[in-house]
A = this chain, B = another copy of it.
Amino acid sequence: MALSRFEYVKQFEQEEKLLPNSWIVVRIDGKGFHRFCNVHAFNKPNDLDALQLMNLAGMTVMQEFNEIAIGYGQSDEYSFVFRREASVYQRRRDKLVSYVASLFTSAYMFHWKRIFDQRALAMRYPPSFDARAVLYPTDENLRDYLSWRQADVHVNNLYNTTFWNLVASGLSNADAEKRLQGTLASDKNEILFSQFGINYNNEPVMYRKGTILLPKSVNADGKKQRFIVPLFEDLIGDAFWTKHPEVLDKKAKTDTVYELDEHKTQPVILYQLEVQDRRKAGMSKTEPKAKVLLEPDSS
């Protein structure tokens, strides 16, 4: 039963390595999330908890790979941008794509209880995600990619907000759809304002802009540490890129401490603080540091 007679089959593995010195975007997409949202009765058009769960899963992926420059999530998708010089798994496509998909999935399930226990929402069946890797050779292409995703959430969220308000007001889904056919952004803004008294620009920024995740130095517990920080900003204009130069340029000075301010209450931050507390309390002494972040509550 010698292995050797069969080992030739290894030669059939063809491991594509992604072009060096180009940005690698790995984008995660929920499989059949329309049904998953319905079965779990997520709020429409946005379920804050479900989005925060996505953010916790995105945080987990970014904690695992320190070569991710920026993460961006909206709806049931998340994009992770690996730096040009990233050498993870020697840039092997299969490894990268499958591992990010798997890690995101397991983190999503792992954090479920943390997010949904207060709503007593049990997971009826396990979610899954696919992933793809896309290369961008220039910084401009990368920015345009991220702009594309942020423009997408704007278009969809404006539509969905108007749609579900129309439905809430009594229209059937079909009638609401018909009402919106051919309307421009300005029309939808007008419907929201005149019919429902809603100023779209006052809608929660996370719904309108999606969530940006960046690794930042923060002051936590009296000392400077690396946290994955959520931001809710426009990234299409130049301001974002001027404010966070380290995204495009690894060598940009990033030792300035980032002030968490009002983001301190974001679940992503609360979780990292809690893990730190537990670690300090010596509860996890035996665990390697990096992985401890994922340990379940001791409760």
Contact = CB atoms under 8 A, between A and B. Distances in A.
A221 to B, nearest CB: 22
A106 B109 contact: yes
A58 B145 CA distance: 36
Contacts of A121: none
Interface residues of A, number: 74
Contacts of A14: 16-17, 19, 134-135
Interface string A274-296: 00000000000001100100111
B101 A98 contact: yes
A254 interface: no
B148 A7 contact: yes
Interface in A71-112: 84, 93-95, 97-107, 109-110
A37 interface: no
A119 interface: no
Given A20-B12, A21-B138, A101-B102, A94 B124 contact: no
Top 5 A-B pairs, shortest CB-CB distance = A106-B126, A137-B137, A6-B148, A98-B131, A98-B101
20 contacts: A1-B155, A2-B151, A6-B144, A9-B134, A12-B21, A13-B134, A21-B138, A35-B291, A84-B137, A93-B93, A94-B133, A98-B129, A98-B130, A98-B132, A102-B104, A102-B105, A106-B106, A109-B126, A126-B294, A137-B137
